[in-house]
A and B are shown apart, each in its own frame.
Chain A
Amino acid sequence: MAPGLNRSVAEDAPLLALRGIVKQFPGTLANDHVDLTIGQGEIHALLGENGAGKSTLVKIIYGVMKPDAGSLRWRGQEVAINSPAQARALGIGMVFQHFSLFEALTVSENIALGLNDPKDRENLEGRIAEISSRYGLPLGPHKAVHDLSVGERQRIEIVRCLLQNPKLLIMDEPTSVLTPQEVQALFATLRRLRAEGCSILYISHKLEEIRSLCEAATIMRLGKVVAQCDPREKTARELAELMISAKLKTQDYSQKHSAQGPERLVVSKLTIRSNQQFGTDLKEISFAVKGGEIFGIAGIAGNGQSELMDALSGEIPAGAPGNILLDGAPVGLERPRARRRRGGCFLPEERNGHGAVGGMSLAENGFLSAHIRGALGRFGLINRRRTQEFAAKVISTFDVRTTGPLAEARSLSGGNLQKFLVGREVLQQPGVLVISQPTWGVDAGAAAAIYEALVALAQAGTAIVLISQDLDEILLLCDRIAVIAAGRLSEAMDVKDATIERIGLLMGGTQTGREEEHVVPA
């Protein structure tokens, strides 16, 4: 059944209507009498800060959670959705923010796992190929997922949903890690789906995207719906203000800091073999950052960013000491601790498991990175009082919403944990800060707080390297930028000379180079 055929059914009833949805968690009311109405063939935006209750609401729609109270009407009929399988049977598909993919399995195996009905799995590869070409979503069915870029992974999820002819497609922050060109391709796909009568619930914090794509929006704050509007009639600023309920300060961050003094971080001819199975080797990477400067490294995920991060932090040693100079000292072979002692601070992309230990408290996580510069321990013993004070200071300075320094890291929502981790590094007053994807999955309010902290740090004379896939962020904050592709770094350019198109081409043009390399058997 094609999605378009269902338009005649219950024409006047909305596709999905939620009324008075309540969901209580210990300590928070995640959804407080939420109403949401999605029309047929409509792209509906769901906006809100982290912790506003968007994810909870979406999980209720997709049958992962049950509401404590309230009703769901699907095409006018009251329904109870008790499981994702039931949601899929109704015609609800979901593309997750943190992709629900299985790394060790192939593309077609991953897709098969999302199909309940054995009939759907017949001639699967042929149908994948058909959907791929119809919606412009190229995919190789036999590739293993761990070998794919983030954009390709997202395509798997979308194809998996489309194979079931959904009437409602839920997309959670789909564009966070895509190139501008990939975003345009995705929008073309979504508009095509809308034209065929499929509704889309689009969750994002990128307000410009919502304004160009969506025709209705529901805005949530602290578990409640605060506004329902047509985003095309509002400015991005108005939407953001509705979302965080405080007048946003417009910031021109790049004017507030400027390069000063000598180069604090110099990387020259850094060549490294990746220690990951399907990693990207770094090839002759050179750049230099002065104090007070924010240097941006743009690029699509998987082009050497994580290797560069590990090389700069000292997790992978460089070839020679002189490859990396930290305040003039050759540190290429030094371990992370030694580099921290010299004034380097590092925050990798992966929050859980790399940037933070989920099962440890915030105080302990603070100690792990700040014990040297924050003098949180002595003679191999932890100074509990100072450690907790340090964590408490991070929590209050960065408005981290948590129960306190003893809360487990994994109990925090993604954005809150990120604020804590950024704060942990920033409060150490580093000479050089290398930070990767600081606002991935973080809402506009938290992102603004993180930006302000970074800018203040640069003003104080810190050299900052910002590795990010979010171009808006890079253009907003950085003085100079370079693009990493297939393990090579482009020439650095002044941010005034950089356009989205030029960067996009540097990122995309070299992507073929990367695929060529993957063809060579390892």
Chain B
Amino acid sequence: MILSMVTTLAMSVVAASTPLLIAASGELVAEKSGVLNLGVEGMMLVGAIAGFATAHHSGSAMLGVGVAALAGIGIAMIFAMLSLSFLANQVATGLALTIFGHGFAALLGAGYVGISAPVLHPIAIPLLSAIPVLGPVLFDENILVYFAFIMLAVIAWFLNKTHAGLILRAVGDSHDAAHAMGYPVLRIRYAAVAFGGAMAGIAGAYFSLFYSPLWSQDLTAGRGWIALALVVFSAWRPLWLLVGAYLFGGITFFSLYVQGLGISVPSPLVSALPYVGTVLVLVLISRDARRIRLNQPACLGKYFHATA
């Protein structure tokens, strides 16, 4: 009985953490290249509706995930074009992208409200899924949970061990030096932003095809912002992204649990708990300003214009 409770608890933590992890790992790569894309929430919403609509009409949730990634890339390219090619302010453009994403997703989704779509089913990994507690939590999940872990490992490896990753970090650290050495700064940043868009789109699809598979407006409920905060909180280190995402997931579950117990706390306050809690922890951990400064890509958010 207790064992099954623990399992349920842990599964819901994983469920709440996964989309954050996916969106945040994409944003991490974009930021490492020196681009601050505040439009994560908007890209997630567009990904969510694109995935939902595709899955609804085709009957295939996996196809939905793929289309969501493409939609994320598409909308990220709007951002990249404005901020990288036309040198618009990245912060303002990112905010605009989120507002645009909200509206665009609501417009596309108007006809789908209340309709359901095929969902992503758990894929049990033979043997491993039979382990008590750990099995169902980690090895009997939908494909995006595995995807989140694998991508995190791939990103950590890519950034720290490969030459291409080194170039990406170099562009984020000093775009002028990278340009002087002949690296195509803008092309690299376009690619990083596209990757961030794809990941945000997939994170959005996770909401509409698994987490709450019934279309409603504002399905992502501000998770894009939390993903952005996590990147800073982790000081741009993939492993800490994992810690942060699961911290948020944990507090989310805890707040649901508190509501379930019927403790007389105003429910808006309880709903706000994961956000408040994550921000608090973020602030506490970010007090070490030196580490943040050291890890932060030095060119983050600065526009690059090749004078030569």
- Residues of A bordering B, CB below 8 Å: 59, 63-65, 83-85, 88, 96, 99-105, 109, 112-114, 118, 121, 146, 277
**Complex contact B177–A104 (CB within 8 A):** no
**Complex contact A112–B166 (CB within 8 A):** yes
A-B contact pairs, 23 of them (CB 8 A): A64-B180, A83-B182, A84-B180, A84-B181, A84-B182, A85-B182, A88-B182, A96-B180, A100-B174, A100-B177, A101-B177, A102-B169, A102-B170, A102-B177, A103-B173, A104-B173, A105-B166, A105-B170, A109-B170, A112-B166, A113-B166, A113-B181, A146-B294
Q: With both chains docked as a complex, state the minimum distance between the C-beta of A94 and any C-beta of chain B, in angstroms.
A: 8
Q: With both chains docked as a complex, state the minimum distance between the C-beta of B122 and any C-beta of chain A, in angstroms.
A: 41
**Complex contact B180–A121 (CB within 8 A):** no
Q: With both chains docked as a complex, state the minimum distance between the C-beta of A408 and any C-beta of chain B, in angstroms.
A: 13
Let me know if B186 is at the binding interface, CB within 8 A: no
Q: How far is the CA of A431 from the CA of B270 in the complex (A)?
A: 62
Q: With both chains docked as a complex, state the minimum distance between the C-beta of B305 and any C-beta of chain A, in angstroms.
A: 11
In this complex, the interface size class of chain B, counting residues with CB under 8 Å from chain A, is 20 to 34
Question: Which B residues, 180 to 198, have Cβ-Cβ distances below 8 Å to chain A?
Answer: 180-183
Q: How far is the CA of A104 from the CA of B178 in the complex (A)?
A: 13
Instruction: Please provide the 9 A-B residue pairs with the shortest distance between their CB atoms, ordered closest to farther.
Output: A84-B182, A100-B177, A102-B173, A100-B180, A85-B182, A64-B308, A104-B173, A65-B308, A102-B170
Let me know if B287 is at the binding interface, CB within 8 A: no
Q: With both chains docked as a complex, state the minimum distance between the C-beta of A447 and any C-beta of chain B, in angstroms.
A: 25
> Which residues of A lie under 8 Å from residue B308 when comparing CB positions?
59, 64-65
Q: How far is the CA of A121 from the CA of B298 in the complex (A)?
A: 25
Q: With both chains docked as a complex, state the minimum distance between the C-beta of A110 and any C-beta of chain B, in angstroms.
A: 8
> Which residues of B lie under 8 Å from residue A121 when comparing CB positions?
163
> Which residues of B lie under 8 Å from residue A113 when comparing CB positions?
166-167, 170, 178, 181, 183
Contact mask B205-223 → A, CB, 8 Å, 1/0? Answer: 0000000000000000000
In the complex where A64-B180, A84-B180 touch, is A105 in contact with B293 (Cβ < 8 A)? no
- Inter-chain residue pair count (beta carbon < 8 A): 57
With contacts A100-B176, A105-B169 known, what are 19 further pairs, Cβ within 8 A?
A59-B308, A64-B182, A84-B180, A84-B182, A85-B182, A88-B182, A99-B177, A101-B174, A102-B173, A102-B174, A104-B295, A105-B166, A109-B166, A112-B166, A113-B166, A113-B170, A113-B178, A118-B163, A277-B293
Q: With both chains docked as a complex, state the minimum distance between the C-beta of B289 and any C-beta of chain A, in angstroms.
A: 10
CB closest chain-B residue, reference A102 = B173
> Which residues of B lie under 8 Å from residue A64 when comparing CB positions?
180, 182, 308
Q: With both chains docked as a complex, state the minimum distance between the C-beta of B22 and any C-beta of chain A, in angstroms.
A: 26
**Complex contact B163–A112 (CB within 8 A):** yes
> Which residues of A lie under 8 Å from residue B295 when comparing CB positions?
104
**Complex contact B294–A277 (CB within 8 A):** yes
Q: How far is the CA of A105 from the CA of B308 in the complex (A)?
A: 25
> Which residues of A lie under 8 Å from residue B293 when comparing CB positions?
277
In the complex where A103-B173, A104-B169 touch, is A114 in contact with B163 (Cβ < 8 A)? no
Contact mask B146-189 → A, CB, 8 Å, 1/0? Answer: 00000000000000000100110110011011101111000000
Q: How far is the CA of A158 from the CA of B298 in the complex (A)?
A: 24
> Which residues of A lie under 8 Å from residue B290 when comparing CB positions?
277
> Which residues of B lie under 8 Å from residue A99 when comparing CB positions?
177
> Which residues of A lie under 8 Å from residue B183 when comparing CB positions?
113
> Which residues of A lie under 8 Å from residue B163 when comparing CB positions?
112, 118, 121
> Which residues of B lie under 8 Å from residue A83 when comparing CB positions?
182
> Which residues of A lie under 8 Å from residue B174 when comparing CB positions?
100-103
Q: How far is the CA of A87 from the CA of B234 in the complex (A)?
A: 40
> Which residues of A lie under 8 Å from residue B170 when comparing CB positions?
102, 105, 109, 113
CB closest chain-B residue, reference A109 = B166
**Complex contact A105–B173 (CB within 8 A):** yes
Q: How far is the CA of A486 from the CA of B137 in the complex (A)?
A: 56
Q: How far is the CA of A64 from the CA of B180 in the complex (A)?
A: 7
Q: How far is the CA of A440 from the CA of B208 in the complex (A)?
A: 59
> Which residues of B lie under 8 Å from residue A114 when comparing CB positions?
181
CB closest chain-A residue, reference B183 = A113
CB closest chain-A residue, reference B179 = A64
Q: With both chains docked as a complex, state the minimum distance between the C-beta of A54 and any C-beta of chain B, in angstroms.
A: 15
Q: How far is the CA of A23 from the CA of B163 in the complex (A)?
A: 35
> Which residues of B lie under 8 Å from residue A277 when comparing CB positions?
290, 293-294
> Which residues of B lie under 8 Å from residue A88 when comparing CB positions?
182
CB closest chain-B residue, reference A275 = B290
Q: How far is the CA of A206 from the CA of B253 in the complex (A)?
A: 68
> Which residues of B lie under 8 Å from residue A101 when comparing CB positions?
174, 177
Q: How far is the CA of A109 from the CA of B295 in the complex (A)?
A: 16
Q: How far is the CA of A83 from the CA of B180 in the complex (A)?
A: 9
Q: How far is the CA of A360 from the CA of B183 in the complex (A)?
A: 29
> Which residues of B lie under 8 Å from residue A104 when comparing CB positions?
169, 173, 294-295, 297-298
CB closest chain-A residue, reference B296 = A104
Q: How far is the CA of A313 from the CA of B33 in the complex (A)?
A: 35
Q: With both chains docked as a complex, state the minimum distance between the C-beta of A410 and any C-beta of chain B, in angstroms.
A: 10
Q: How far is the CA of A105 from the CA of B293 in the complex (A)?
A: 14
Q: How far is the CA of A105 from the CA of B174 in the complex (A)?
A: 11
